[in-house]
Chains A and B, each alone.
Chain A
Amino acid sequence: MGKGENTSIQTTKPSKKVDTLEDTSKINQPKEENEVIEDDEFEEFEDNLLSLLMFRFDRLDVTCDDVDTKEQWEDDWDTEHIDDEFSKQLRQEIEAHAANPQPMKM
C-alpha cells in the first residue's frame, strides 16, 4: 500500500552542490536516514479523556498563551551576536575574499 508511490518520488535527487565547507565530515554522512515508517493515522480520542480535556480547556481559556508555549518555542533568537562558530567561519571567508567598500561617489 502506497509503497509504489514512494519509490517513484525517490528517484528525484537534488542537483549536487559543490561542497567547500567541512568536506571531510561529508564522507561519514549517511545518504538518507532510514526512517521507521509510522502509521500516520490520527488516533480517535477515547471518551474517558473528556474530563481531562475539559480541564485543559478551562485553563487555556483563561491564559491563552500557556506556559508550555514559552517553554517549547523560541522567538527571541534574532540578535546582533556574531560570535558563534558559523559566524566566525563566515567572517574568515569574507575577510579572505572581500574587497573593502568603496566610498560612494557623490
Chain B
Amino acid sequence: MELYQYFNQINDSIYKPNGQALTDLLSLSELIAVTINNHPNNPFVKIFNASQTAKNNTKIQQLKKIDQLVRKAHDIDSTVQNKLQQSSLNESQYQAYCEIVSHRLRTITLIFDQNYSEAFNEFSKSVESFIRVFESWSIPVMYKYCYDIRMLAKLATINGSATVDASGKKNDYYEDASRLLSRCFQSATGDRSAVMEQSKKRASLGIINQLFQIYFKLNNLKLCKNLIKAIESPGFPSLETYPPQQLITYKFFVGRLAAFEGNFKKAQQDLLSAFNKCPPNIPKNKKLILLYLIPMQLAQCKFPKKGLLQQYNLHQFIGIVDGMKNGNIKQFNQCLATNQNYFISKGLYLILEKLKIIVYRNLFKKIYLITVSMNANSNAKSRVPIQNFVAALKWAENETVDVDEAECIISNLIFDGYIKGYISHKVGLILSPNNPFPKLPLNYIKYLSIVINCDDIYRSVGCDFEC
C-alpha cells in the first residue's frame, strides 16, 4: 500500500510537473546525513536541532517502510515499470524515469545494508539517468542530486571502502562524484534556450558549489577557475538572480580562491558580502567565512573587535590583531608561532606572515612619535636615528638585529609607500615634513599582493578539509 502511494506521488510530481515535490520524494539527504553521523569512523558528529531531528526521523521511517516492501518484491525493475505511468512521456524519457527510481530504491537498500560503496555506484546510475531527462522544472531535483552524490561520496570515503591506491591518490569517490557533477554542469550549460528564466543554466551555481566543495577537499583549486570563468561569462544568468543561499556559498569559495591567489581586495569584498548575508542561525558557516575574511580585513587594516573574535571563538587571532594595531612585533610573532599549526592547517599562515610589514609600519611610527617627543625642543623633528630602530627591534624582536637589518626594513617600508622619507646613513631616517606615515590602508599594496607564492599556499591547504 505504501509503495503504491509512493509511486502515485512520483507520477503526480512528474506529470504536473512539480520539481519541489519530486525533490522531496527523491531526497536521500536525511538518510545519508544520519548514517554519516552514526558511522564509527566519523570524526565530526553533527548536532541536529529539534526540527531537523524530527524531519530526519520521519524521512528515515518512510524510507524503511518502502525498503521493506522493495525487499519483498522479486524484481525491482519490473515493479517500477508496472507502477510508474508513461502518460505523455516518450519511451526514452519513461525509461529514464524508471531507472532513476529503481536505482534509487536499490541505493536505499544498500545504505541500510551498510554497503556504501555499492550505494554510491547505484546512486551514480540514478544521477546519470536523471541527466537524460533533466529539464528546467526539475532544477530543484538537480540541486538535491548534486548534494546527495557528494554526501554519498563522503559516506563511502569515511567508511574506508575506497580502494587503497598505492600512488597515494586520496579518495576515489570524490573523484568519481566530481566527474559526475561535471556532467551535470554540462547538461545545465548546454541549454540553448534564449529565455534565461526558463533555462537550465539557472542550475549552474548550485552544481558548481558542490564541485567547489569537492575540489577544495581534493586540493585541486585550479579546476575551480574554469568553473568561475564559465559561470561569470555573459551567456549566464547574473549572479544576483540565483537563490541567495547559493550565492553565499559561491562567494565563500570564490573569496577563498582570490585570497590564495593573492587578490586580497577581491577576496575581502566576496567574503565580507558572504559574511554579512549569511544568516546568524548557521554559526558554523559564519565562523568559516570569518576565518578567511579576517586576514583579508587585516590587510585592509580593518581590525575585528574582540567581541567578534570571542563570539566565534577565534581567539587565535587576538594576538595578531593587537600586535598589528599597536606595532607590537613581539606579540605578533609570538601569536603566529603559538598558533602556527592552526594557521597552517587553515592555509592562512603565509598570508598572515605578509601582514608583518604593517606591524613594522605601526611600530616605526611609534618610534618616530617617541623620538619627536624626546626632542621636543630640537629642530630635528623629522629625523629619527637608525639607532632608535635598532634598539627597539633588539628589544621587541631579535637581539641580533643590527643597523643593516633595520635599514633594510625601513627601505622596504619606503619602497612600499608606508613611509615617506629617505635614509641618510649619517643622520638616520629623514621623514617627509608632511604626512610621513600615510593613512592606512594604502591604495596599492604591492608587497601584500605580489609576494604570495601560490604553490606554497595550495600545498598548505592540503590538510584543510577533514571529512
Contacts and interface: CB of A to CB of B under 8 A. Distances in A.
Interface of A: 1-2, 5-6, 9-10, 13-14, 17-18, 20-21, 29-33, 35, 37-45, 49-50, 52-54, 56-57, 60, 66, 68-69, 71-75, 77-78, 80, 82, 84, 86-87, 89-91, 93-105
A101 B371 contact: yes
Nearest to B430: A104
Contact of B276 (A14, A45, A68): A68
Interface stretch (B84-92, B124-132, B336-344): B336-344
A39 B465 CA distance: 7
B453 to A, nearest CB: 15
A74 B305 CA distance: 6
A3 B398 CA distance: 34
B465 A2 contact: yes
Contacts of A99: 385, 387
Contact of B277 (A21, A53, A93, A102): A53
Given A17-B397, A60-B277, A74 B249 contact: no
Nearest to B243: A50
A18 to B, nearest CB: 4
Contacts of A30: 338
B44 A87 contact: no
B260 to A, nearest CB: 15
B24 to A, nearest CB: 10
Contacts of B308: 72-73
Contacts, number: 211
Contacts of B304: 72-74
Interface string B265-276: 000000010001
B466 A1 contact: yes
A13 B349 CA distance: 13
Contacts of A49: 245, 279, 281-282
Instruction: Give chain B's interface residue range (CB within 8 Å of chain A).
Output: 35 or more
A55 to B, nearest CB: 9
8 contacts: A35-B339, A44-B147, A90-B396, A93-B395, A96-B391, A101-B375, A103-B380, A104-B424
B276 A101 contact: no
Interface in B241-281: 243-246, 248-249, 252-253, 272, 276-277, 279, 281
Contacts of B333: 17
B285 A42 contact: yes
Interface in B320-339: 325-328, 330-331, 333-334, 336-339
Give 10 closest A-B pairs by Cβ, nearest first. A45-B245, A39-B44, A97-B391, A5-B463, A93-B395, A18-B399, A53-B244, A101-B380, A98-B388, A72-B308
Given A1-B466, A77-B303, A95 B245 contact: no
A42 B213 contact: yes
Contacts of A32: 338-341
A102 B439 CA distance: 28
Contacts of B281: 49, 52
B428 A101 contact: yes
B384 interface: yes
B367 A94 contact: yes
Contacts of B253: 42
Interface in B382-438: 383-385, 387-388, 390-392, 394-400, 424, 426-428, 430
A75 B302 contact: yes
Given A37-B43, A49-B282, A68-B276, 12 more contacts: A20-B394, A33-B338, A37-B44, A39-B46, A42-B253, A43-B284, A45-B248, A91-B370, A93-B396, A94-B371, A99-B385, A101-B375
Contact of A97 (B248, B331, B387, B426): B387
B467 interface: yes
A50 B277 CA distance: 12
A9 B276 contact: no
Given A73-B303, A94-B370, A41 B277 contact: no
A87 to B, nearest CB: 6
B373 interface: yes
A101 B326 contact: no
Contact of B301 (A57, A78, A82): A78
B464 interface: yes
Contacts of A95: 374
B276 A60 contact: yes
Contacts of B326: 84, 86-87
